[in-house]
């Protein structure tokens, strides 16, 4: 699915030469949740690299065929998937892809996934493995519904029921994540610990358990996300390194290699296949 910046996009339906994209009227009522429906209008083959981003991505496949995930551990066909905050390098392939995609902030993911984000362990997990028969029932309901707005409403209702009675994230952990995002990843872990009144060790343990990453890795991911968006927009690597707070261009190169499994130049070349 295209890398989605749905927050500022028109809320109804947009079209592209390849992708039909539908978003809920007025957004969603759930904090930290964005969703969109995608349909490949050409019916052609999708071949897309998974890029880490500061959200857990849930994909509910509705097409006739499965979505195939290929990574270092092998090849797996799935009807739905969950990509953790910082998945290992992987590719998604499929034909005639149609799906609902949900982006969950770490706070929403902690409440809605049903497992600790730490258990995802940087992987791409089958949605049926995570939500079992509930995932299968939701997929059947969505497949039997023709209207995108009804599909998105059904998905939101499903998530709202999961949110009822869900455990809240520790206020200190949530505040630390918000500080990392506000600082665009340019923060010091010692300062984060001091600001929430915890020791560095306690913050590291609680943050990792509830977010799924250490504070240092989370800051690295947020900084990477800003850099990736700039590279995909056509900005030069040297300018991106300076603007996003990297020590130098080799530092940018190392982080992109670690998180995306490719060079900044290769990432920039993904524009055509990842953006609508």
Predicted TM-score (pTM) of this structure? 0.89
Tokens, residue 118? 């730490």
Distance CA 194, CA 120 (A): 29
Query: Looking at domain 6-163, which of 2.60.120.10, 3.40.50.2300, 3.30.465.10, 3.40.50.720 is its CATH number?
Result: 2.60.120.10
Q: Residue 120 has what pLDDT? A: 85
- Please enumerate in sequence order all residues whose Cβ is within 8 A of that of 266, keeping only pairs 6 or more positions apart, or say none: none
Query: Looking at domain 173-274, which of 2.40.10.10, 1.10.10.60, 1.10.490.10, 3.40.630.40 is its CATH number?
Result: 1.10.10.60
Q: Residue 1 has what pLDDT? A: 64
- Please enumerate in sequence order all residues whose Cβ is within 8 A of that of 157, keeping only pairs 6 or more positions apart, or say none: none
Q: Domain segments of the chain: what residues?
A: 6-163, 173-274
The helix (H) or strand (E) run that includes residue 93 is strand 90-95
Instruction: Give one word for 219, left, alpha or beta, with left for phi > 0 and alpha for psi -120 to 50.
Output: alpha
Tell me if 123 sits within 8 A of 84, measured CB to CB: yes
Closest CA to 38 of 113, 86, 133, 103: 103
Distance CA 262, CA 270 (A): 11
* Residue-level pLDDT, tens digit, the chain, 276 residues: 665 443 444 445 555 678 899 999 988 989 999 999 999 988 888 898 888 999 999 999 998 889 999 987 789 999 999 999 888 888 999 999 999 999 999 999 999 998 888 888 778 999 999 999 999 999 999 999 989 999 999 999 999 999 998 888 999 999 999 999 999 999 988 899 999 899 999 999 999 999 999 999 999 999 999 999 999 999 999 999 999 999 999 999 999 999 998 999 999 887 434 333
Angle at 225 between CA 58 and CA 153, to 5 degrees: 30
CB atoms within 10 A of CB 91: 15
Q: Residue 123 has what pLDDT? A: 83
What are the strands of the beta sheet with 80-83, ordered from one edge? Answer: 13-15, 19-22, 33-40, 98-104, 56-61, 80-83, 124-126
Q: Residue 2 has what pLDDT? A: 60
């Amino acid at each position: 699915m295209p890398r989605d910046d749905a927050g500022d996009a028109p809320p109804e339906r947009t079209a592209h030469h390849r992708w039909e994209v539908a978003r809920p009227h007025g957004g969603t009522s759930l904090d930290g949740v964005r969703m969109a429906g995608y349909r490949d209008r050409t019916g052609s083959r999708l071949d897309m690299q998974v890029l880490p981003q500061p959200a857990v991505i849930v994909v509910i496949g509705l097409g006739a065929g499965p979505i195939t995930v290929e990574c270092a551990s092998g090849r797996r066909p799935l009807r739905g998937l969950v990509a953790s905050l910082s998945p290992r390098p992987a590719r998604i392939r499929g034909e005639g892809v149609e799906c609902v995609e949900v982006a969950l902030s770490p706070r929403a993911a902690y409440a809605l996934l049903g497992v600790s984000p730490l258990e995802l362990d940087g992987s791409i997990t089958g949605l049926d493995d995570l939500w079992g028969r509930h995932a299968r029932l939701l997929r059947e309901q969505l497949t039997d519904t023709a209207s995108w707005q009804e599909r998105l409403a059904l998905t939101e209702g499903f998530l709202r029921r999961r949110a009822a009675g869900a455990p809240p994230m520790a206020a200190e952990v949530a505040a630390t994540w918000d500080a990392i995002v506000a600082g665009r990843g340019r923060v010091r872990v010692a300062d984060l610990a001091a600001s929430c009144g915890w020791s560095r060790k306690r913050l590291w343990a609680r943050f990792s358990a509830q977010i799924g990453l250490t504070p240092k890795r989370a800051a690295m991911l947020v900084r990477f996300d800003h850099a990736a968006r700039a590279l995909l927009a056509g900005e030069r690597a040297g300018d991106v390194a300076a603007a996003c707070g990297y020590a130098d261009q080799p530092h940018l190169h190392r982080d992109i290699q670690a998180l995306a499994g490719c060079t900044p130049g290769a990432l920039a070349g993904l524009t055509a296949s990842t953006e609508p």
